[in-house]
């Protein structure tokens, strides 16, 4: 069963509460990345993506706050290809738990 999340609801799964799973969204699909807590949890190298839609930042290989969004406008073909590679990795490694509304 797929759950619909608003951006505000997704933020509750940013890893700050150890009793909750860690979620992040790529192209609107919400993945449970809890098994990657060392990367996505507090202090992890990708913690800024936890509880957020990270598509733009992943495509641009950016950790810049301004890029952490689902806005794909203006991305180059190369950046869209990088995003597709990330999406394939997420699909192979983490379960989809819902969609970002």
Class of domain 4-95: alpha beta
pLDDT, tens digit (0-9, with 9 covering 90-100), for 19-34: 999 999 999 999 999 9
The ranges assigned to domains in the chain are 4-95
Please tell me the pTM assigned to this model: 0.95
In whole angstroms, what is the distance from residue 82 CA to residue 16 CA?
Answer: 28
Which residue numbers in the chain have pLDDT < 50? 1
Q: What is the pLDDT of residue 87?
A: 98
Tell me how far apart the terminal alpha carbons of the chain are, to the nearest angstrom. Answer: 15
């Amino acid at each position: 069963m797929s759950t619909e999340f608003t951006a505000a609801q997704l933020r509750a799964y940013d890893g700050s509460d150890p009793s909750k799973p860690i979620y992040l969204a790529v192209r609107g699909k919400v993945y449970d990345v809890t098994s990657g807590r060392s990367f996505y949890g507090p202090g992890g190298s990708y913690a800024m993506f936890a509880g957020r839609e990270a598509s733009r930042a992943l495509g641009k290989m950016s950790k810049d706050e301004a890029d952490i969004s689902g806005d794909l406008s203006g991305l180059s073909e190369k950046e869209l290809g990088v995003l597709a590679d990330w999406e394939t990795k997420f699909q192979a490694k983490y379960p989809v738990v819902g969609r970002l509304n």
